Amino acid sequence: MVNQDYFGLKDKVCVVTGAASGIGLATATLLGEVGSKVILLDINEANGQKAVADLKEKDFKVEFVRCDVTNADDCMSVRDFVEANYGAVDVLFNNAGVIRRKTVVDLEESEWDLVIDVSLKGVYLLSKYLIPLMANGGGGSIINTGSGWGLKGGDQAAAYCAAKAGVVNLTKAMAIDHGPQNIRVNCICPGDTDTPLLRSEAKQLNQQEDAFLVSSAKGRPLERLGTPRDIAKGVLFLASDLSSWITGTDLIVDGGGLA
């Protein structure tokens, strides 16, 4: 049984993007376990509603709001929803992202725009509209999803590497700007994690899925892929009082891959 008071997140209002599957859903679940009030955001309404229904069966305090994080009107609507129903926000996990496994030569401009807009612009937009609520409530914690490939290059993933490198440095800029408002801003940098996003890469690269997952786990000291819950635990740490003097940093959670 989780000691809810240990993390200081009981009854805190937490907003999670990309929450209908993968790392976002695992994080929403873990936040529910420690007693948080969680608003799940995703562009996939069917999967988001199902996720909330499943979590409510566990008596978690959760709601779903459809949100395209690249759309300013959607992000403003989230702000209005949170303000009307909760008054403030304590934790924001900017997690939504997409990947296109192509070089700059092969990328279509629309694919570049999609990856940059979801992974980087989405962080900017939702933060823009929720930070004032967080500040008015006395502060809080923002966690942005970067990547190991935001810290080093990767093959056939030019737009993704650019977007995630942007997220890493945007995190540092936000930490500087909003520290005086008692808002901590950090970045979680996962390695290869068994999510629908990773599995989609196999198809994009015309590889057999199982073989691709095996190859993705090779070469790291812990000799396995990450699970969404592995990453969620890192997010929980950065969201919680356990990291109360940590801001502007990137936490690498990758089984030692970058090492």
Q: Of the residues 6, 86, 124, 160, which is catalytic? A: 160
Q: Is 160 a catalytic residue?
A: yes
* Amino acid, single-letter form, for residue 137: G
**Which string of DSSP letters, residue by residue, matches 26-43?**
HHHHHHHHTT-EEEEEES
End-to-end CA distance of the chain, in Å? Answer: 33
- Cα dihedral across residues 253, 8, 172, 170: positive or negative: positive
Positions marked catalytic: 160
